[in-house]
Chains A and B, each alone.
Chain A
C-alpha cells in the first residue's frame, strides 16, 4: 500500500482524495471525484479512499467496483421495477379467478387474453415473482447493497473520526458555502461559537480553528437502512425452508374433529359451527349501499373451534389423550394462535350433505309403506348395506357432486357431497338378481322400468364446511427486525442532516465555510443566526442551480 503523507502530517491510505485530517486536496488523485474539472470539491464521501475507486486490477477488484457503483444499483432497482410492473399486467397464476374456463395457466392466459396472454405465459410472467431470474435480480440488489455500503461506510467512518478542526485553506474556499471576512474581533468569534452551541452544534476549537458539527449520526442512516434490507432479504431466504415456514390448507366439516396437518399429529381441531352473517338491509345507514350490492353484504365469517393437544398416554402404544387447549372462534382479521401456529378463516362451503336416509317399498304400493330403511353416511359411504328384513343394497356408483358431463355421462364435478347421486343395486331377500335404481336430488330413475321395488329418499342432514389455513412462520420476527432497522435508518438519514461549519483564522479576519449532506437552506439559516450582528460576511452559495437563468 502506498500511504500518502499530507503536509499537515497526517498519513492517508492510498487513493485518498482529500486529506482525512485537514481536507487538503491530494495531488494526483483529484480526477477520482472529478475535482480537477470543477471549482467546488466533491464532498460526497469526504474525499475518502474507497476500495472501488483505488484498485482495479484483479477480477475481484473489478467485481467489487461493479457492484459498489450506485449507477449499477439504480439500474438493478429500475430493472426490478419494470419487471414487477410487467408481472402485474395480467393476474399471477395464484390469482386466476375461480370462474375461469380453465385454471390451468397453459390454457387460461391464451383463452382470456389472446396472443398477449400466450406471450405472458410463455415468458414465465404468470409466476414472475417466484421465477429464478426475478429472484436473481433481487439477490443482485442484495449484493449491491452490501458492497456499496462497505465500500463507503468504512472509509467515511474513519475519515469523520480523524477529521481535525484545522482545515486547509483550499478546503474551505472550495466549499459550496464560503465567505471571507477581513476584520473580525475575538469577541465576535466567541459570540458565534456560543450561538452555534446553542443551536446544538458540537464546537471544537483548535488554536482558533473552529469546527462546528451536528447530526453526524445521520450519515450512518443509509448504511443502517441497508442492513435492515439485507435482514429482510435473508429472512425471505429462510422462509423457503420448511424449518421456518409451513403453510397448509384444510377443510373441516361442522362436527368433524381431525389432526391439523403440518403439526406432526400433535394438534387436533374440531369444527363446532360455521356461521356467515350478513348486514341488516334495513339498517338505515347502509340500506342504499346494500341495495346497490344486490341486498347481501356479509358482515362476518366465523368458525367456532376447539383445539386439542395430543398428550402421550402413560400406557405405551395406547391412543394419545386429547387435552383442550383453546376454545375460540376464528374470524377474518381474528386468527387464533397456539404454540407458533396460526389458524386463519379462509373459505367456506355451505350446505353439504352429511347423510341421506332411504326406504325401500313395492313399486306399485301407493302408500309407499317401508319394507326396510338404511342411511348412507356421505362422508364415509359403505359399499354394501344389509337391511333388517333381508334386503341387501349395493352402492353401485356414488357421485358426490353429480352433473352430466360433455358426453352426457353422469359424473362428479367435485369430491364434495354438494349434489349427491347414487346408482343402487337392490337385492330382494333370498335373491341374487339385483334391481338397479338411479337416485339423486329430485331424480328417481328406474332404468329398465321393470323394478318390483323402489327406493325413496326419506331424510337427509346437512352441514357447512370451513376452509382454514394453518401457518407456522418463524421468519416473522426477522422481517420485523429488518423492517424496524430499515425505518430507523431511513428516518435517521432523511430527517436529520450532517452539517459542518468551519472557521479558519486568516490574518485579522477569518474564512467561513460550511457543508451539509442535504438541506442547504437549513444550514444557511443556522449560519445567519450564528453570525447576525457581527462583522462576519454571510456565506455565498457558490453553486446556484441552473446558472443559465
Chain B
C-alpha cells in the first residue's frame, strides 16, 4: 500500500515538476521576443522551416478535404433539394472546425515532431550545454525564435487551408456537379460572417499554435539525451499535440458558438 502511494506521489511530483519546467521555458521564450536586427535572421530561418516547408502538405490536404466535403455534401443535400446550401456547408465546416484543427494536426506531425527531434539532437550532442558555457542563453537563441515562428506561421497556414478547401468544394460542387456559381458563393456570403466565423478561426489557430509549439519545444528541451529518448520525445510530441488540439478545440468551440 505504501509502495503504491509512494509510486503515485513520485509520479505526480515528476509530472508537476515537468509542468513547472515547461512553464518556465514558455515564459522565457515569450520574454525573448525576437528583436529586429539581432534575432530576425533566426526568426526568418525558423518561419521558413515550420511555415514555408509545411505549405505543400497544408494545401494538398486542404484541397482534398474541401473536395470531399463538396462531394459528400452535394450527394446528401441533393436528396433534400437543398444543394444551394453547399457553399454554406463547406465554408462553415472548414472555417469553424476543419481549417484550424486539421492544420494544427498536420503542423504537429510535420513541424512539431521535427522541432522536437532537432532540439533533442542539439541536447544529445551537448550543444545546448556548450551554449550555456559560452554565456549564450539557449532559450533566447533556440527556443524563442522557434516559438514565435510557430505563432506566426500557424494562422497563415490555417487561412491558406481554408481558402484552398473552399475552392476545392467549389471545384467539385460547381465545376463538376453543375451547381450554380452564384448560389454557391451567395449562400456562403450570406451565412459566413467576419466576426462570428473568421475571427474565431484565427483565435483557434493562434491557441493551437501556442499549444503545439510549446509541447514540441518542451519535449525536445526536456528529452533524455539519447537516441531512444529523442524517439520517445518525438512520439510524445505528436500524441500530446493531437490530444491537446482536439481537447482545446472543444473548449474553444463551446466558448465561441
A binds B: no
Measured CB to CB, the residues of B under 8 A from A are none
Residues in chain A within 8 A of chain B (CB atoms): none
